[in-house]
Amino acid sequence: MKLSRALDGRLREIVRMGHPVLRERAAEVAAERFGTRFLRDLGRDLIRTMHEGGGVGLAAPQIAVPLRVIAYYLPAEDATPELPPRVLVNPHLTLLGQPDEPGWEGCLSIPGLRGLVPRHARLRVDAFDVDGDPIAFEAEGLHARVIQHEVDHLDGILFLDRMPTMAELFFEEEWDRWAGRKDLPVEV
The residues carrying an active-site annotation are 150
DSSP one-letter string for 100-120 = -EEEEE--TTSTTEEEEEEE-
Which of 24, 131 has the CB closer to Zn ion? 24
Q: What is the CB-side half-sphere exposure of residue 35 using CA atoms within 13 A?
A: 5
Tell me whether residue 107 or residue 130 sits nearer to Zn ion (CB atom). Answer: 107
Name the residue with the smallest CB distance to Zn ion.
107
Q: How many residues sit close enough to Zn ion to count as binding (CB under 5 A)?
A: 1
Q: Tell me how far apart the alpha carbons of residues 62 and 56 are, in angstroms, rounded to a whole number.
A: 13
Kindly indicate which of the ranges 13-21, 43-51, 65-73, 101-109 contains the residues binding Zn ion, using the contact rule CB under 5 A: 101-109
81-89, 107-115, 124-132, 167-175 -> range binding Zn ion (CB under 5 A): 107-115
Rounded Cα distance between 168 and 97, Å, is 23
DSSP 8-class letter at 97 = S
Amino acid at 145: R
Q: Single out the residue of 46, 65, 107, 151 in contact with Zn ion (rule: CB under 5 A).
A: 107
Binding site for Zn ion (CB under 5 A): 107
